[in-house]
A and B are shown apart, each in its own frame.
Chain A
Amino acid sequence: MATAKRFNAPSLLQWIGLITVACLVLPTSYIIYVALTAAPAVWSRLWSTRIPELLWNTLSLATSVAVTTCMLGVSLALIMVRYEFPGRRIWEWAIVLPLAMPTYVLAYVYAHLFGTGGPAEQWWQAFMGSEARLLSPHSFAGVTLIMALDTFPFVYLLTRSALLTLNVSFEEVARACGVSPWATLWRVILPLIRPAIAAGLALVIVYVVSDFGAVSLLRYQTLTYAVYQQMTGRYDQSAASILSLLLVVMALVFLVTERWGRRRSRFYQTSGRYRTPTRRLGGPVKAVLITTYVLLVFGTAFGIPAFMLIHWSLTSVSQGALDARFFGFVWNSSVLSALAAGSAVLIGLPLAYLASRRPSRLNIACLQAAYAGYALPGPVTALAVLLLFTHFVPALYGSVVVLVVAYVLHFIPVGLQSLEPALQQVTPNVEEVARTLGCTTRQTFRRVTLPLIQNGCITASVLVFLQTMKELPATLLLRPVGFDTLAIRVWLEASEEYYQLAAPSALLIVLLSVPALLLLVSKDWRGRHQGVVT
């Protein structure tokens, strides 16, 4: 297969890429600087007390959530793409809805339902006696399940779109050679969609490691939660920086490994004979089994929490929760999220393009560096941005701009994760043809590449929009006076145990996120996508 052509002279694009990365890396470097210059006493104290436990908690949680989401996401993607069952068209998009549900909302709903003295426990004890206990949402397994239920759609979405664009011919060859369906799955299909699964899992792991909302409500001590506690409880930020440095190192090791794994398995769709795989019609037993499974996952990840939110919202709305202030929060959230989404795509595109079309060491390093921001926990991004702004551009401090910068830093990897595969899927041959037909590099990009990756751009901005809408710690620390968002309201009310008052804001976050999500899975989008590939 053809590799991308290399260009030697540093172009304008190259400069844009370099400057962008410099800006993205600045806050991270600042944290590393503070951590490395911290007093040795702080280091030794942290090593002997907190770090081993926090590392173990964080790594074990990330692993268990990754395994769980892999099973959920891949199995659901296979079911949706390969089987026909009643309501399949609805389930295909409905199963993505948990992405609209922030982890802290899921956490607070389940902490209430399954916590000590909660409705689920009372019901259980009515049957099993007063000493019976359910799985605690605060336990390792409880936290794992809650996080996995919230993040498996990342794996599902990427696996599903890989399956949809997978050429069915490979599979047919295997089947014609007498390989059983199971063996075909393991030996042909899964290896072919492995890059997609890996990309999904990468999102999940980074998400879990940098999550603040759920672990804080469930009181599960991870590195990120500890960073927030150190930051908000101490005047001296060196301990927080040291813990953050660990997170950065972990993120780098992880991303390099993941990228290395993906580089070894790069596939291009050789077009011409592309056909959509036919869906299998199972018997009634299979249909019931599949429906039960899908219903169970959907119900626990979205149905039940959404029902509770609606129930609580109705109560608090009847008490007058929908006032002018509330609509102010709605406006704030929408503006911030849209700004962050647009900026992240505009800033991410040059980086992704450079890394995939001119994969020099420098450009790949730039892309890798851009990923660091996501695993840098929200609170630390916030502090770094705050200090940088007050030092260099004080006039902008306390404005929306600061917050958007933090969002872009934090969520640009989410965008890159969609932009990159989109660019990789466009075979460089198409661009080379355009070049041989006399287009300049710029014309080629505008007339060939951009239309082809348009869907990737949309996916990227939708994902960034969703993440920003849900973002908590950086918003908490950087919000301008009088600029509370919906997420802030949920957190303020829920952390004071006012579950019902938190519900309208939480419900609205979910409702605002849903149309954006639907864009991701809409049939129209997929149809055009295929039309482009074939």
Chain B
Amino acid sequence: MASPARAIVALTFFLGALSVVQLATASAADKLVVYSGRAERLIKPVLDEFQSKSGIQVEVLSSGTTELVNRLQAEGEHTPADVFLTNDAGSLEHARELKLLRSMNMREVERAIPSQFRASDNSWIGLSGRFWIVVYNTTLVKADQIKSLLDLSQPQWKDKIAIPNSGSEYLQAGVSVIKATFGDERTKQFLQGLKTNAGAQVYQKSSQIVEAVAKGQVAVGIVNHYYIYRHLAAQPTSPIAALMPDQQEGGMGAIMNVSGIGVTRASKHVDNAKLLIEFLVAQAGQKLFADLDKEYPLHSDVKADPALVDRHTFRTAPVPLARLAELREPTLTLIEQVGLH
């Protein structure tokens, strides 16, 4: 037999054996596996801090939030994940409904996090708050031109706005709140307007939207608030600003969501997971977690980053976080009827 062919066979079997060995040594004792729906960069420093404090080996898998819910569901009781961390309360609530999470009754949590930011049975716990708001280019737009998110569906914004794609959990949650507030007809008109006005400016990542607004490619974008501050922290002279929409008399209020944490039902390291939660809801952990991503801490004694709009100066839309899960399917139907990308 020709020698290269033999080499291929040998190499394949060697590597195959190697990967099996790797598989066997993979399940160490004192560790914690985290599935994270938020970008690795924004979660790793916090987990590293926890790892050095507790001595527990933390492994992270960063991916899309919905993707991870699907993965948890597919893996079922075989999942290697102990903890599920996301940037959307709706996804956590959905995971709870699928019985993927376990209820965690901890005094530390009840003391630190107000009950509206937790699941009814504490199977998920909010860690920080984020708002779906408007970013605008200060050379192209004046702040008083926009009062409400719904204004952006007006014809005057044709080819001037950038939006996230419809797979984004922020957009789905945002539209859910609008739907709960204004009903199907108004929401449909709003989405139709957004689709027409955005055209090809539909982005996978919110950071790209902020980038496009900063470059003047578009005048206005809809993003989570922290993308704006992250961009400004890196480029302080960038001509962009945040606008808290729907604060007018009788307005809906800003759309809020939380990032949160849940412990999987299949977890074999529940004690370790408990330690992580204790760490994250404590004052120091709250400050670290929120500031890293320029979010609002949920612990009432912890102050937000001073660069952010003061939390006490604006109102929030009064739609309970847990409702985001049940609103999601009908919202997706609306989004698909309109044909948003």
A→B interface (CB under 8 Å): 45-46, 49-50, 116-117, 138, 216, 219, 221, 229-235, 237, 239, 335, 338-339, 341-343, 345-346, 383, 386-387, 390, 394, 396-401, 404, 446, 450-451, 454, 457-458, 461, 476-477, 479-482, 492, 495-497
How many cross-chain pairs have Cβ atoms below 8 Å apart between A and B? 144
B252 CB → nearest A CB, Å: 24
* B50 interface contact, C-beta 8 A: no
Q: Knowing A229-B165, A397-B78 are in contact, say whether A454-B5 is a contact too (CB < 8 A).
A: yes
Residues of B within 8 A of A219 (CB): 200, 202-204
Q: Which 7 A-B pairs have the closest CB atoms?
A: A233-B167, A342-B12, A49-B339, A117-B215, A400-B19, A116-B217, A232-B67
B208 x A497 contact (CB < 8 A): yes
Q: Knowing A229-B166, A496-B39 are in contact, say whether A386-B74 is a contact too (CB < 8 A).
A: yes
Max chain A Cβ within 10 angstroms of own Cβ: one of B16, B40, B216: B16
* B128 interface contact, C-beta 8 A: no
Cα of A267 to Cα of B46 in the assembled complex, Å = 64
B→A interface (CB under 8 Å): 1-2, 4-5, 8-9, 11-12, 15-16, 18-20, 22-23, 26, 33, 39-41, 59-64, 66-67, 69-71, 73-76, 78, 80-81, 94, 165-169, 172, 200, 202-205, 207-208, 211-212, 215-217, 332-333, 336-339, 341
Q: Knowing A230-B167, A235-B94, A398-B78 are in contact, say whether A458-B4 is a contact too (CB < 8 A).
A: yes
A520 CB → nearest B CB, Å: 13
**Known interface pairs A45-B333, A342-B8, A457-B4; 9 further A-B residue pairs with C-beta atoms within 8 A, sorted by A's residue number:** A45-B337, A116-B217, A234-B167, A237-B70, A339-B15, A387-B74, A461-B8, A477-B67, A497-B208
A229 CB → nearest B CB, Å: 4
Cα of A335 to Cα of B94 in the assembled complex, Å = 37
Residues of A within 8 A of B205 (CB): 495-497
Cα of A398 to Cα of B202 in the assembled complex, Å = 33
Cα of A219 to Cα of B204 in the assembled complex, Å = 8
Q: Knowing A233-B66, A496-B39 are in contact, say whether A390-B76 is a contact too (CB < 8 A).
A: yes
A481 x B18 contact (CB < 8 A): no
B61 x A481 contact (CB < 8 A): yes
Q: Knowing A138-B200, A235-B94, A343-B12 are in contact, say whether A386-B71 is a contact too (CB < 8 A).
A: yes
Which of B4, B23, B211 lies in contact with A497, CB distance below 8 A? B211
Residues of A within 8 A of B172 (CB): 233
B168 x A233 contact (CB < 8 A): yes
What are 7 inter-chain pairs, A to B, with CB distance below 8 A? A50-B336, A138-B200, A234-B167, A235-B66, A454-B5, A481-B59, A497-B207
**Closest chain B residue to A399 by CB distance?**
B23
**Closest chain A residue to B70 by CB distance?**
A235
Residues of B within 8 A of A397 (CB): 75, 78
B217 CB → nearest A CB, Å: 4
Residues of B within 8 A of A481 (CB): 33, 59-61, 80-81
B140 CB → nearest A CB, Å: 13
Cα of A465 to Cα of B166 in the assembled complex, Å = 34
Cα of A390 to Cα of B70 in the assembled complex, Å = 13
Cα of A477 to Cα of B61 in the assembled complex, Å = 10
Residues of A within 8 A of B81 (CB): 481
A400 x B167 contact (CB < 8 A): no
Residues of B within 8 A of A346 (CB): 8-9, 12
Which of A49, A335, A482 lies in contact with B59, CB distance below 8 A? A482
B202 CB → nearest A CB, Å: 6
B281 CB → nearest A CB, Å: 24
**Closest chain B residue to A229 by CB distance?**
B167
Cα of A394 to Cα of B80 in the assembled complex, Å = 11
B111 CB → nearest A CB, Å: 32
**Closest chain A residue to B16 by CB distance?**
A339
Cα of A497 to Cα of B204 in the assembled complex, Å = 12
Cα of A481 to Cα of B68 in the assembled complex, Å = 12
A345 x B8 contact (CB < 8 A): yes
Residues of B within 8 A of A450 (CB): 1-2, 5
Cα of A234 to Cα of B172 in the assembled complex, Å = 10
A342 x B1 contact (CB < 8 A): no
Cα of A481 to Cα of B75 in the assembled complex, Å = 13
B41 x A400 contact (CB < 8 A): no
Max chain A Cβ within 10 angstroms of own Cβ: one of B33, B165, B216: B165
Max chain B Cβ within 10 angstroms of own Cβ: one of A234, A397, A450, A495: A234
**Closest chain A residue to B78 by CB distance?**
A394
Cα of A338 to Cα of B166 in the assembled complex, Å = 37
Cα of A335 to Cα of B16 in the assembled complex, Å = 9
Q: Knowing A216-B204, A386-B74 are in contact, say whether A479-B61 is a contact too (CB < 8 A).
A: yes
Cα of A46 to Cα of B337 in the assembled complex, Å = 9
B47 CB → nearest A CB, Å: 13
Cα of A229 to Cα of B167 in the assembled complex, Å = 6
Residues of B within 8 A of A479 (CB): 61
Residues of A within 8 A of B8 (CB): 341-342, 345-346, 457, 461
Residues of A within 8 A of B94 (CB): 235
Cα of A231 to Cα of B167 in the assembled complex, Å = 9
Which of B19, B26, B41, B59 lies in contact with A496, CB distance below 8 A? B41
Q: Knowing A338-B11, A387-B74, A394-B78 are in contact, say whether A454-B4 is a contact too (CB < 8 A).
A: yes
Residues of A within 8 A of B211 (CB): 497
Cα of A76 to Cα of B208 in the assembled complex, Å = 37
A342 x B9 contact (CB < 8 A): yes
A527 CB → nearest B CB, Å: 15
Which of A117, A138, A342, A404 lies in contact with B11, CB distance below 8 A? A342
Residues of B within 8 A of A117 (CB): 215-217
B67 x A231 contact (CB < 8 A): yes
Residues of A within 8 A of B203 (CB): 219
Cα of A231 to Cα of B67 in the assembled complex, Å = 7
Cα of A404 to Cα of B26 in the assembled complex, Å = 17
B76 x A338 contact (CB < 8 A): no
Cα of A224 to Cα of B9 in the assembled complex, Å = 33
Cα of A103 to Cα of B48 in the assembled complex, Å = 33
Cα of A495 to Cα of B74 in the assembled complex, Å = 26
Residues of B within 8 A of A46 (CB): 336
B336 x A45 contact (CB < 8 A): yes
A139 CB → nearest B CB, Å: 9
**Closest chain A residue to B91 by CB distance?**
A235
**Closest chain B residue to A228 by CB distance?**
B167
A338 x B4 contact (CB < 8 A): no
Residues of A within 8 A of B5 (CB): 450, 454, 457
Which of B9, B166, B215 lies in contact with A116, CB distance below 8 A? B215
A480 CB → nearest B CB, Å: 7
A438 CB → nearest B CB, Å: 19
**Closest chain A residue to B333 by CB distance?**
A45
A339 x B19 contact (CB < 8 A): yes
**Closest chain A residue to B8 by CB distance?**
A342
Residues of A within 8 A of B2 (CB): 450-451, 454
Max chain A Cβ within 10 angstroms of own Cβ: one of B11, B63, B336, B339: B336
Residues of B within 8 A of A345 (CB): 8
**Closest chain B residue to A401 by CB distance?**
B19
Residues of B within 8 A of A495 (CB): 204-205
Cα of A492 to Cα of B60 in the assembled complex, Å = 14
Q: Knowing A235-B66, A342-B9 are in contact, say whether A399-B19 is a contact too (CB < 8 A).
A: yes
B225 CB → nearest A CB, Å: 17
Cα of A451 to Cα of B2 in the assembled complex, Å = 6
B94 CB → nearest A CB, Å: 7
Residues of B within 8 A of A480 (CB): 26, 80
Q: Knowing A390-B74, A476-B63 are in contact, say whether A116-B69 is a contact too (CB < 8 A).
A: no
Residues of A within 8 A of B4 (CB): 454, 457-458
**Closest chain B residue to A111 by CB distance?**
B208
Which of A233, A383, A390, A399 lies in contact with B166, CB distance below 8 A? A233
Cα of A346 to Cα of B13 in the assembled complex, Å = 11
Cα of A446 to Cα of B1 in the assembled complex, Å = 6
Residues of B within 8 A of A49 (CB): 336-339
Residues of B within 8 A of A458 (CB): 4
